[in-house]
Structure 1
Amino acid sequence: MKSTILKSGLLALTLISTITSCSKKYEGYTINGNIPGQKDGMIYLEFVGGDKNILKDSTKILDGHFTFSGKVEEPLRYSIKLKGQEYGRVFILSNETIAFAANKDSIFTAKLIGATQDSIYSGYYKNEFKKIQSIAEPVYKASDSISQNGKVKPTPEQKALMDKRWTDLQTLADNLTYKFIESHKDKIAGALVLDDRLVTYGTPEQVKKYYGILTPEIQKSYFGKKIKTAIDLNDKTAVGVLAPEFSQTDVNGKIVKLSDYKGKYVLVDFWASWCGPCRKENPNVLLAYKTYHDKGFNVLGVSLDDKKNLWEKAIEKDGLTWTHVSDLKGWKNEAAILYGVKLVPTNYLIGPDGKIVAKNLREEALQAKLKEIFSKS
């Protein structure tokens, strides 16, 4: 009798285990959408990653309602949009039930209920980032007022005052971002904010430090692996390492190689005609070139343009007399990808031995570094 009861109990446990494992195997997401005024039509679910969104699912809208269901292996960025629309509502999709409500003319502002991971991630921009912006706005206005939008050079006193305000702003931003990542180190949101705010705008040291805070599970996630790739790429273009070789054509179609500059100091300057901050920095690079070119300093401009005529007009208008190259692939410029360029302007000062001496030298920092180098020669 006891044997029969024991066997029955084991059978029951086995069945429960089987049912549980089956239910987990087929767990997934359900998105219940409501778009008042959109009686019918098609709506699309796309994976957001890389250079182009990837269509994952589509369904018909019936009397303003639609449903998507499926399963994701981990939380990832997806977008929902109507046929013919360029932009959709981007969000973090997890295996959960989500309510999606939107106006047909502004799908990208849709409200979500039940998207847990997306809610945590969005919280950073609604709170920490909003606070950073509120403090940054008057600092930017003060800077523009003092310089009259770049037309007037600030006095030493004004510069010292603004330098302190910029430093204080950066410290605040770093602290708020760090605290968010630390408190969400076991969430996708922690990795996403790190990728958004620091991989592009922070220092390599910050990225490494904050990546180390993330839990092993998050480090192994899609976004964690993406950050690790950026770290590895930064290591390949770190100060002290041999600069990766590349070659591209100049405005006349001649092939120019980085190694052509071996034995000299060269500033590899990634820029573009459409980049306002690049054009604003060009006079500073021009001053450095004029001051130190005769002493062995060169500039190699690498443009992220995709239209040759606009590239050439900018070179002529800004009076940039050094060599310029581009493959005219825009953000897909092969040299930019090789160096992990995420924004422009970005520059690398490379020494006579082909090793990277410094990165992202702008304004007075560029002049000071060159003065330090050439005052010894």
Structure 2
Amino acid sequence: MKKMILKSSLLVLVILLTSCKDKQENKETLGYTINGRIENMKEGMVYLETSGEDNQVIDSAVVTQGEFLLQGKIQEPLMYSIKEKGKSYGTTFILDNDVINIQGKKDSLFYAKVRGTKQDSIYKSYYKNEFSKIQKIAFPLYQLSDSLHKIDALNIHIEKGRLSKKHQVFMDEKWRQLDSLSIKLTSEYVSKHADAIGAALVIDDRFIKYPNPEMAKELYSALTPKVQNSFYGKKVKASLDLFEKISVGAQAPEFSQTDTNGEIVKLSDYKGKYVLIDFWASWCGPCRKENPNVVLAYKKYHAKGFDVLGISLDDKKDRWLKAIKNDNLTWSHVSDLKGWENVVAKLYGVKVVPTNYLIDPDGKIVAKNLREEELQSRLAEIFEN
């Protein structure tokens, strides 16, 4: 009797293990199924596209009576989007070999609800929870900073675009506290989901695109080997390798690009000077807000050996030239007018503007992303002490 019970238990265990294995194999064999429903659309077309730098259509489906079906198979979970024909934006999600349900409305698929993909749910949970907490503090801080700038602008003893020392110290501490909270919550998320590609995506979103190489490296090391070797894990690693090449203390990569008159300007033209390589764009609000501070630094220290080289991520020359004139940016400016595809921006790993690098007379990077009072203080250390 005992032998029969033992035999039965072993049989049940074998069945359970086989079922789990079969389920995983079926998932990999069968691929994905996307069941879609679009309200207010009786007929039409939708397209499944890769989501990234080079969007490519990989499949399409006819919408009939508001419903569509897409089936296929992918090698690993990746970001994709489903768009209506003729629309620039759609709903973006991590596609895996799952049964996925998408429900949205015509002309607003961006807000569609996506269910059934575990990897996507894990990734988006960060923005619903951790990032939401960060935003609730960040938004009022931006409003407070703008208010203080308006107050100090009325004071004739404070230079335009600057905060009083008291207000600057106050805001610096507030930003430091927000940064600490962001690092804490994001680190906790990555630790909890180290085996999900959503963790790699969050590292890229928060510490690669808004560069914090030290945190990105620390959190990358916490990922499981499988996630590190995923498409997004490799992407984070490639960015970390690039950051090493353009870190403080490294030799600044040489480059050349045409200026506003079509003349070639090279970084090596500035050898023997301190030069601020300033990545910006006419359409970038924070860049335009920082420009008066850079103008102030240029006027104060140019005669002492300081220069600025503006590199624009614009793609429209007239807007670029207009912004240079309106902001009184009297130093040299270059651009290939390729927007985010700017060759020099890619060489320096620029993910967001404004971004800047301070290069010393020997061509070495001595500081990165100096803004507001920090830029003035660093230049004062160099030229006044």
Instruction: Please confirm whether the aligned pair reaches a TM-score higher than 0.5, indicating the same fold.
Output: yes
Q: Does structure 1 residue 172 correspond to structure 2 residue 174?
A: no
Counterpart-to-counterpart distance in 2, 1:104 and 1:274? 30
Residue identity opposite 2:45 in structure 1: M
Q: Does structure 1 residue 163 correspond to structure 2 residue 172?
A: yes
Counterpart-to-counterpart distance in 2, 1:349 and 1:190? 32
CA contact (8 A) 1:266 1:299 kept: yes
Q: Deviations over 1:327-365 (max 9, x none)?
A: 111111111111011111111111111111111111111
Q: Secondary structure at the match of 2:122?
A: helix
The one of 35, 40, 44 equivalent to 2:38 is: 35
CA contact (8 A) 2:38 2:103 kept: yes
Residue identity opposite 1:97 in structure 2: V
The one of 141, 144, 151 equivalent to 1:142 is: 144
The one of 120, 123, 127 equivalent to 1:121 is: 123
Q: CA RMSD in A?
A: 2.0
Change (3 A) 1:163 1:80: same
Q: Does structure 1 residue 203 correspond to structure 2 residue 203?
A: no
TM-score (norm 2): 0.89
CA contact (8 A) 1:78 1:93 kept: yes
CA contact (8 A) 1:35 1:65 kept: yes
Change (3 A) 1:105 1:327: closer
Q: Aligned residue for 2:326? A: 317
Residue identity opposite 1:54 in structure 2: Q
Cα offset, 1:62, TM superposition = 2.0
Counterpart-to-counterpart distance in 1, 2:86 and 2:286? 34
Q: Deviations over 1:225-263 (max 9, x none)?
A: 111111111111111111111001111111111011111
Pairwise mapping of residues 363-374 of structure 1 onto structure 2 (< 5 A)?
A: 363-374=372-383
The one of 303, 308, 326 equivalent to 2:312 is: 303
Counterpart-to-counterpart distance in 2, 1:78 and 1:128? 23
CA contact (8 A) 1:239 1:358 kept: yes
Q: Deviations over 1:248-296 (max 9, x none)?
A: 1111111111011111111111111111111111111111111111111
CA contact (8 A) 1:77 1:93 kept: yes
Counterpart-to-counterpart distance in 1, 2:299 and 2:291? 12
Cα offset, 1:25, TM superposition = 5.5
Q: Does structure 1 residue 251 correspond to structure 2 residue 253?
A: no
Residue identity opposite 1:85 in structure 2: K
Cα offset, 1:183, TM superposition = 0.7
Please list every run of 5 or more consecutive structure 2 residues that lacks an aligned counterpart in the other structure.
Answer: 1-14, 155-161
The one of 319, 324, 329 equivalent to 2:338 is: 329
CA contact (8 A) 1:144 1:150 kept: no
Change (3 A) 1:149 1:57: farther
Counterpart-to-counterpart distance in 1, 2:208 and 2:140? 26
Deviates more, 1:309-318 or 1:141-150: 141-150
Residue identity opposite 2:244 in structure 1: D
Q: Aligned residue for 2:103? A: 101
Counterpart-to-counterpart distance in 2, 1:373 and 1:48? 45
Counterpart-to-counterpart distance in 1, 2:250 and 2:337? 27
Q: Deviations over 1:174-217 (max 9, x none)?
A: 11111111111110111111111111114111111111111111
Change (3 A) 1:34 1:92: same
Counterpart-to-counterpart distance in 1, 2:151 and 2:52? 36
Pairwise mapping of residues 345-360 of structure 1 onto structure 2 (< 5 A)?
A: 345-360=354-369
Q: Does structure 1 residue 221 correspond to structure 2 residue 223?
A: no
CA contact (8 A) 1:303 1:328 kept: yes
Q: Deviations over 1:277-318 (max 9, x none)?
A: 111111111111111111111111111111222211211221
Q: Does structure 1 residue 269 correspond to structure 2 residue 271?
A: no
Q: How many residues align structurally?
A: 360
Counterpart-to-counterpart distance in 2, 1:294 and 1:158? 30
CA contact (8 A) 1:191 1:224 kept: yes
Counterpart-to-counterpart distance in 2, 1:308 and 1:64? 44
Q: Secondary structure at the match of 1:191?
A: helix
TM-score (norm 1): 0.91
The one of 77, 92, 99 equivalent to 2:94 is: 92
Counterpart-to-counterpart distance in 2, 1:100 and 1:369? 52
CA contact (8 A) 1:72 1:94 kept: yes
Deviates more, 1:152-161 or 1:33-42: 152-161
Cα offset, 1:53, TM superposition = 1.4
Q: Aligned residue for 1:72? A: 74
